[in-house]
Structure 1
């Protein structure tokens, strides 16, 4: 369920400044001492975002592109892709990323049947389970599908103005909330045979 969103006009990649503004706003809403795990796709894993979450003391799981430079402390610089090449699992508790040398841990997992490995930067000693934490963000993907191609067909609205798009998202969030509530109530009151087994 979308609880908050930010609509901005401009290029698809807005850079870190709008991300920082959004994260600062979300920080204001969080209760004091709230634990945060920020998960980001490989298009958002940047030096600035990594430094931001480290400064905030947040947990993080950032999928990395395969062309980021890495210093493992055991020889020459390499790339995240070279670290992942030919291995099914690899865990590096202390590396530095990017030319700026940002410290982090990296977990690499390439499961059978998947075309690419997950190369995940994280705030803690890497393990298989912690790499798989990144999978929590996949709950967002069905939401995007519901708002776009599989449900409300947002692209078909042809809205281009940010204010109008923002209002449309509010309407869709309320509609989605209503759909989920009705479905949940129906599941409780009239479960299917499969739901009864669960």
Structure 2
């Protein structure tokens, strides 16, 4: 799934049903990316982030050839090398880091065990998390100092998945196996998520929600939005609902008219 991060949450744009267990391969990902350019032609990409499942030389090389900046997480057991340094696992470069400490490896590095096979040049930044786990990212066409802060935005897609599944829309409860029907269901859920999330943003900006003692919202923006929309859809006439949806997806929401209808 390809999403754009907005307000720390992933907004679903494009996806493909693999019809298999496991993760996508480089070809499946490179086939998905042109859809973005088709719908949003000439739209520059600030950066593309992905977890450890979305790596590989073919993928790195394609992104660099397309001029797409990326911040992709690496596995600790992956080997890297550069001129003057023998290939070594990333874990060896990170062993000195204590919890909370960060490190940027100087110079340009290459993935692999064989220096005779030149791979995509990358920069590498790493941090040992409070849990002791290592967060190591490879970047290209991005200032290495910004790599870790940029990668944090990737958590937005995990927030999206939780909203599509356990926290709201119940995707994991479906028994549908037909690929075409499953694709239709995914489209409906994506639209439903956007309606709920956009409603939540509007309500939060109009009437800021309460926060708990530790500073977090009592309700997430998504939960706030879906609860308001449920109430609104019951109370509104067909015309009011149509006006609500039209106003909701304008760049600037006409807050006062919508506020009276939904709350």
Assess, with a 3 A threshold, how the Cα gap between structure 1 residues 18 and 187 changes in structure 2: closer, same or farther: same
Higher RCO (C-alpha 8 Å, min separation 6): 1
Question: What's the offset of the Cα at 1:125?
Answer: 4.4
Structure 2 regions of 5+ residues with no counterpart?
Answer: 1-10, 212-263
Give the structure 1 partner of residue 167 of structure 2.
150
Give the structure 2 partner of residue 107 of structure 1.
125
Give the structure 2 partner of residue 77 of structure 1.
87
Larger-gyration structure (1/2): 2
- Aligned partner of residue 3 in structure 1, secondary structure: strand
CA-to-partner distance for each residue in 1:105-136, whole Å, 9 max, x for gaps?
A: 1011124x233121110013422x32221111
CA RMSD across the alignment: 1.9
Give the structure 2 partner of residue 136 of structure 1.
153
Structure 1 regions of 5+ residues with no counterpart?
Answer: none
Matched, 1:164 2:176: no
- Aligned partner of residue 121 in structure 1, secondary structure: strand
Question: What's the offset of the Cα at 1:54?
Answer: 0.6
**Stretch deviating more after TM superposition (32-41 or 138-147):** 32-41
Question: What's the offset of the Cα at 1:64?
Answer: 0.2
| Whole-angstrom CA distance in 1 between matches of 2:44 and 2:54 | 23
Q: How many residues align?
A: 192
Matched, 1:97 2:111: yes
Question: What's the offset of the Cα at 1:17?
Answer: 1.4
TM-score of the superposed pair, with normalisation by structure 1: 0.87
Give the structure 2 partner of residue 59 of structure 1.
69
TM-score of the superposed pair, with normalisation by structure 2: 0.67
Aligned 8 A contact 1:36 1:59 in 2: yes
